[in-house]
Amino acid sequence: MIGKPEWFKRRKYGGWGIMPKTWQGWVYLAIIIIPFAIFNALPYWSVKTRIIVTGAWALFLIIDVVHIMVKMPRDERDRLHEAIAERNALWTIILVLVIGIGYQMARSAVTKTVQVDYFIIAAVFAGLIVKGISNIYLDKRN
């Protein structure tokens, strides 16, 4: 695609994604952000046009960043560290989601109304299903 892996490094300490490490990476970031910011700052376009352009821009950016991340070289140590960090992040996310579901259920019981966010429940169960499928696949592969 447009960005090159050698312009970036992985974000190890501040979330997921990539960070520029060379001047070309910073220029790439500026070329992506500045025209988009100018487009949204100008009042010439309708809301529908803004939504379509924003969606297309975001889709392009996601595809290009994923392409860059896939092409970035990693050694076995990087893979292991990333796997442990991802596992720990996932367990934390699941814990917070389960606490949120428990809070919503307790609040629903007190107010005698249903106030549960089904997307949170769906996220927890989707993660459970993906983990199960992944373990089955990995067990059969080895």
Residue percentage of the chain with pLDDT more than 70: 96
The answer for residues whose C-beta is within 8 angstroms of residue 26's C-beta and 6 or more apart is 20
Name the burial class of residue 44, with classes exposed (0-12), middle (13-18) and buried (19+) by CB atoms within 10 angstroms of its CB. Answer: exposed
Tens-digit pLDDT profile for residues 89-102: 888 888 888 898 89
Examine the pLDDT at 134 and tell me if it is beyond 80: yes
pLDDT digits (tens, 9 = 90+) for 25-67: 999 999 888 988 888 888 888 889 888 988 999 999 889 888 8
pLDDT digits (tens, 9 = 90+) for 101-114: 899 889 988 988 88
pLDDT of residue 79: 76
Distances (CA, A) of 36 to 3, 9, 48: 17, 23, 15
Count of CB atoms situated within 10 Å of the CB of 6: 14
Query: Given a cut of 80, is residue 125 above it in pLDDT?
Result: yes
